[in-house]
Amino acid sequence: VALAFATEGAAVMVCDIDAVAGNETVELVRAAGGKAAFQQCDVSKNSDVEALVQSTTREFGSLDYACNVAGIHNEFRESIEEADEDTWDSIIATNLKGVFLCMKYEARAMLAQGRGVIVNMASVAGLLAEPGCYAYVASKHGIVGLTKTAAHDLAKKGIRVNAVCPAAVETPALMRSPEEFLEALRDETPVGRLGKPEEIAAAVLWLCSDSAGYVTGSALVIDGGVTTV
């Protein structure tokens, strides 16, 4: 997403709890001829998110587009009767509270300038069940609900809010999975392959463009046909 926006001429503020990974993204953007800066941030912490948005507007003058991507997944599938409370708290804090806090401060900045677009990274798990992943599914369903509510409340104030709902995508985290698990995911996907990061980024870019000016409150499914069955 950062590279896609930079390619279109946007200055990008990269946020990550992992400074090494965040600065690596900045270098990729700069190597592609784009402009980027990095700020370390734990999206589950109010003060970190507030400081992130403030530094973005200070660095670049405005916050025109925001994509809230940070998220974590269950390491193992659990039964509801054995589900771990610490896992629940950690996933909900990052995936759901993190999006709430980001939207809160992003909306403040955008309201001050009278315009802006927010895109939240949900999942097909925000529309369907994912067996054994209670916290993750709850967080992603919650993101879809937050998106729709914010879109309604901000629609007349110049701010659009949408979500994207990908199925399995070839991210570094997923590709560390055992090959038999990845092959099962491919088999379960009607198009027979996993999604590519660039395909998700292209959808985010479109949602932020003037071409999507009539789109707000949507949960755009990008799933290779997973939700057709």
For the chain, what is the total number of helices (H) and then of strands (E)?
A: 9, 6
Cβ atoms of 34 and 12 closer than 8 Å: yes
Beta-carbon count within 10 A of 148 CB:
17
Could you give the CA distance from residue 65 to residue 207 in angstroms, rounded to a whole number?
A: 10
| Residue 201, C-beta contacts closer than 8 angstroms, at least 6 positions apart | 1, 3, 4
| Residue that the structure tokens 């939240």 belong to | 120
Sheet holding 65-68, edge to edge: 65-68, 116-121, 159-166, 219-222
Could you give the CA distance from residue 116 to residue 56 in angstroms, rounded to a whole number?
A: 14
Active-site hit among 65, 105, 134, 136: 136
Of the candidates 193, 210, 219, 202, the residue with the CA atom closest to the CA atom of residue 141: 219
Chain mean position to CA 80:
26
Cβ atoms of 164 and 207 closer than 8 Å: yes
Q: Answer yes or no: 136 catalytic.
A: yes
> In sequence order, which ranges of 116-195 are alpha helices (DSSP H)?
134-154, 172-175, 179-188
Q: Which residues are catalytic?
A: 136
